[in-house]
Structures are given as structure tokens and as C-alpha cells.
């Protein structure tokens, strides 16, 4: 193999390693988390999204399989305004 090819391969491997490192750091960082995730470095993510019904304001958790109402500590549906429907 010639030197140009080996240099190009080394650059590609270095770029790939840098991208993997960046993605890993973003995943363990406390940044880019919503309030359904545990906070802090290395804390696991919930894997859920928070969806809001824009007509009622009610909030739901979504994991890709369906919606689950987001409930407050006192058992009311979160974000539904004063009525707690």
C-alpha cells in the first residue's frame, strides 16, 4: 500500500474516533436532557419524550409505543391548568 492511502485511512480513523468520543460525552453530559431524565454526569436517560396537548395543555410521556399521562406528586394530570383533568 502506498503512503497516501495509509495517511487517508489514519485520518478517517481519527475522525471516526473523535466523533464517537463527542457522541459519548454528549450522552453522559447533563446537557440536552429534559425533565423526565435524571440530572447529572453519567445519569441514565429515561428514553421518553414529553408531549403536550396544545388544546388542553395536558402533558404526556411518550416512549414510541403510546402516551402515558404525566402525573404530579398529588395525583393530578400535569399541565392541564386549574382543573387537573
Looking at the DSSP assignment, which residues form a beta bridge with residue 62?
49, 67
Could you tell me the three cell numbers for 49?
419524550
Could you tell me the three cell numbers for 81?
391548568
Task: Enumerate long-range contacts of 24-29, CB under 8 Å, 24 or more apart.
Answer: none
pLDDT, one tens digit per residue, over 15-61 is 999 999 988 887 777 777 767 776 677 777 777 888 888 888 899 98
- Quote the CA–CA distance of 1 and 21 in Å, as a whole number: 29
For the chain, what is the domain count?
Answer: 1
Q: In this structure, is residue 76 part of a structural domain? A: no
Q: In this structure, is residue 54 part of a structural domain? A: yes
Q: In this structure, is residue 24 part of a structural domain? A: yes
Task: Enumerate long-range contacts of 18-27, CB under 8 Å, 24 or more apart.
Answer: none
Confidence of residue 83 (pLDDT cuts 50, 70, 90): very low
pTM, full prediction:
0.50
Amino acid at each position: 500500500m502506498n503512503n497516501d492511502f495509509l495517511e487517508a485511512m489514519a485520518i478517517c480513523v481519527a475522525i471516526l474516533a473523535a466523533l464517537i468520543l463527542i457522541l459519548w460525552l454528549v450522552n453522559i453530559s447533563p446537557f440536552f436532557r429534559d425533565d423526565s431524565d435524571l440530572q447529572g454526569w453519567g445519569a441514565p436517560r429515561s428514553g421518553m419524550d414529553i408531549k403536550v396537548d396544545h388544546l388542553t395543555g395536558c402533558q404526556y410521556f411518550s416512549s414510541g409505543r403510546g402516551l402515558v399521562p404525566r402525573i404530579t406528586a398529588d395525583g393530578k394530570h400535569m399541565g392541564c391548568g386549574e382543573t387537573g383533568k
